[in-house]
């Protein structure tokens, strides 16, 4: 900066000399001081202006990037796989899981639901990417050895009319030893009843407004469980659903109802801006 000022001063003196003008030393000093003071005063403004410009560009492009990302999320949701794809994603990696999987697949209830075209089969948690799934409760934290042993297999009736889901719960999600924790059962019903009515609501998504739980019998750990849900009423953005968790009976036996529930699920006014997770 200093060298540039000296060069400009030298050029100015040369111009005056060529024109026959020889300014006094005081005049030269005054001009140099005014020049330095003016540049010193203008420099911050220039830096501030450039800084503000860069900031505005950054905000603008960041906003565009965020808007594009959010639009993509809203359009595609968090789901990475279709119903049909998710149903085939789980691969047992132990003899125990293989046996659990075979029991579910060969059970008459599951075979009957697969024969009915009005029901779509999926493994809802596996529709999400592994990154998203790892941050969910029932799809991430509660799945694993001794917990939710295999991803639940769900059959959802067209139009969000009903849902049937089958899973296996180990012995590491207990309240009393050997008995599945009631909070887990309530969570399963909360998610299951909501998922069953999604397709009956605008934007196919809802949040829980109320949930009533009635525990009928203790639920044994290390057992197969069936969740059933039915959408009983729909009004605009509201859907009422009822359901239960029961045992998976052996062929020829009747299931035992363990927990019953009813809930109200509402599609939010801002649901069009919410990415779907299933």
The count of other CB atoms within 10 Å of the CB of residue 36 is 14
What pLDDT shows up at residue 60? Answer: 45
Write out pLDDT tens, residues 170-205.
999 999 999 999 999 999 999 999 999 999 998 899
CA separation, residue 161 to residues 7, 44, 64, 116, 177 (Å): 84, 67, 39, 14, 36
Of the candidates 80, 76, 206, which has an alpha carbon nearest to the alpha carbon of residue 131?
80
What pLDDT shows up at residue 54? Answer: 52
pTM passes above 0.85: no
Write out pLDDT tens, residues 42-93.
444 555 666 565 555 444 444 444 334 334 444 445 668 999 999 999 999 9
What pLDDT shows up at residue 277? Answer: 60
Contact 275, 74 (CB under 8 A): yes
Cβ-proximal residues to 228 (8 Å cutoff; 6+ apart), any chain:
162, 163, 164, 243, 244, 245, 246
Handedness of CA 138, 144, 145, 151 (dihedral sign): positive
Give backbone dihedrals phi and psi of 241, rounded to 5 degrees, phi first.
Answer: -135, 150
């Amino acid at each position: 900066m200093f060298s540039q000022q000296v060069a400009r001063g030298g050029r100015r003196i040369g111009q005056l000399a060529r024109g026959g003008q020889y300014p006094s030393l005081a005049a030269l000093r005054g001009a140099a001081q005014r020049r330095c003071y003016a540049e010193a005063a203008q420099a911050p403004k220039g830096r501030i202006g450039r800084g503000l410009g860069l900031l505005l560009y950054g905000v603008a492009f960041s906003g565009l990037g965020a808007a594009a990302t959010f639009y993509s999320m809203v359009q595609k949701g968090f789901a990475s796989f279709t119903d049909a794809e998710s149903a085939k994603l789980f691969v047992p990696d132990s003899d125990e899981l293989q046996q659990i999987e075979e029991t579910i697949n060969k059970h008459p209830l599951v075979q009957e639901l697969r024969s009915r075209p009005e029901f779509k089969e999926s493994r809802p948690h596996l529709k999400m990417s592994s990154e998203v799934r790892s941050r969910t409760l029932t799809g991430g934290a509660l799945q694993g050895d001794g917990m939710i042993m295999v991803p639940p297999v769900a059959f959802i009736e067209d139009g969000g009319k009903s849902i049937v889901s089958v899973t296996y719960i180990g012995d590491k999600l207990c309240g009393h030893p050997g008995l599945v924790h009631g909070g887990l059962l309530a969570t399963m019903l909360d998610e299951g009843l909501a998922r069953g009515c999604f397709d009956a609501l605008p934007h196919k998504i809802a949040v829980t407004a109320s949930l009533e739980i009635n525990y009928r019998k203790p639920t044994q750990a290390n057992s197969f469980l069936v969740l059933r849900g039915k959408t009983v009423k729909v009004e605009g953005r509201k859907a009422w659903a009822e359901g239960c968790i029961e045992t998976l009976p052996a062929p020829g036996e009747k299931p035992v109802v363990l927990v019953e529930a009813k809930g109200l699920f509402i599609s939010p006014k801002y649901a069009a801006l919410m990415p779907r997770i299933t």
